[in-house]
Amino acid sequence: MVHCGRGLACIPAENVSHDGIVSPMIKRQGPCIADEVRPVGYAPPQGYTLDVEVFTFSELRRRVSSAHMRRPQRLAFHFMALFTEGECEHMVDFAQLTCKPGSLLLLRPGQVQRFAASAPDSRGYVIMFRPSFLQSETTPLSVGELVAYHHLDSFPTHFSLSSEEVTAVVEVAERMMLDAQLHVDMNDMHRLLRPQVLTVLARLRLVLMRGQGMPSAPPTSVQRFRRYCQLVEREFTRLHHVSDYVKLLGHSEKSLNRAAKESADTSAKAYLTQRITLEAKRLLANTDAPIITIASNLGFDEATNFTKFFRREAGVLPRAFRVMYQARQ
């Protein structure tokens, strides 16, 4: 494990468990790709044992160098950042986001981020937690918490909050920082902090519903689509057809498409295709691997088939996409 700063660590891709992290950067049957976007693992300061941590932007800058923040990072944990002062540019999977007071970033394991600048004048709060943190075997979630939890994977990356919503999230963040200092059993502390994170997620869902940015789907559809998304995350470099996932899930393709439509206004095939395309873009933009190697690592038997797929979905040839993206760096 190579530490990138106090509290954060770069972890070789092959050593990152799928505990919710990350799509595989190295395919099992293909040539190995040197992952230039090294996974950044959840590694709080020595002696801190909780699966969730809350701190300020000032603390983040103390932990991580500006040079590291400007490099692409593949997160191995959930990362929530609320901006209360200042402005900066933030790159998340090829989208450049302008973050201002009231902006909230919600990044999932596997996403690639990069701070466009160190943003020394930005102020705010960071909440980061392991993928397993919200899953409790001993304390079942309430109906409202389950809804927020199951929608987590379909939330957008960037939120714009009102001043009242910012105040509410700040209150939760500050309360969590104080609670985390209590000297109690780790499991008891998780039971205290877990509902507070879910409260923030529930508030974000209300923000989306207010702006009609999220379909109001039945819980069964949300759960079914979430299971599909998790399976895609594990298998998209191996399985490229929805029929393969239908067999594994035990649902009909019709019911899976209905769940995808109700939960995310998409189809099962479109979701799978977008996931493969996104990983192809990540590899093209952030590694120097040959096209044939990328094709093999993404499960294509021929580089020509990968080229046709990428051109159809991205509107440009793989090599041209790489040149265009790297020219902007």
Mean pLDDT for each 10-residue chunk of the chain (329 residues)? 42 39 43 62 90 94 81 90 92 89 94 75 92 74 62 85 96 96 92 93 86 64 88 95 95 94 91 95 90 95 96 96 79
135 and 244 in a common domain: no
Residue 72, pLDDT score:
83
**224 and 203 within one domain:** no
Do 232 and 203 lie in one domain? The reply is no
For the stretch 20-72, pLDDT in tens is 434 444 444 455 554 456 788 898 898 899 999 999 999 988 888 777 777 88
78/166 same-domain check: yes
Angle of the 219-235 helix axis to the 253-264 helix axis, nearest 10? 100
What is the structure's pLDDT at 36? 57
Does 152 lie in the same domain as 18? yes
Instruction: Please check whether residues 304 and 232 belong to one and the same domain.
Output: yes
Give the Å distances, CA to CA, from 175 to 101, 164, 168, 205, 224.
Answer: 20, 17, 11, 21, 34
> Which residues form the domain of 227?
219-327
Residue 224 sits in the same domain as residue 190: no
CATH number, residue 291: 1.10.10.60
Of 189, 210, 231, the residue at which a domain comes to its end is 210
Domain count for the chain, please give it.
2
Instruction: State the DSSP code for 204.
Output: H
Same domain for 99 and 175: yes
Strand order, beta sheet including 95-99? 2-5, 8-10, 39-42, 73-75, 112-115, 88-92, 95-99
Residues 134 and 272 in one domain: no
CA-CA distance, 115 to 92, in Å (whole number)? 9
Q: What is the mean pLDDT of the chain?
A: 83
Together in a domain, 195 and 231: no
**Residue 219's pLDDT is what?**
74
Report the DSSP pairing between strands 39-42 and 73-75: parallel
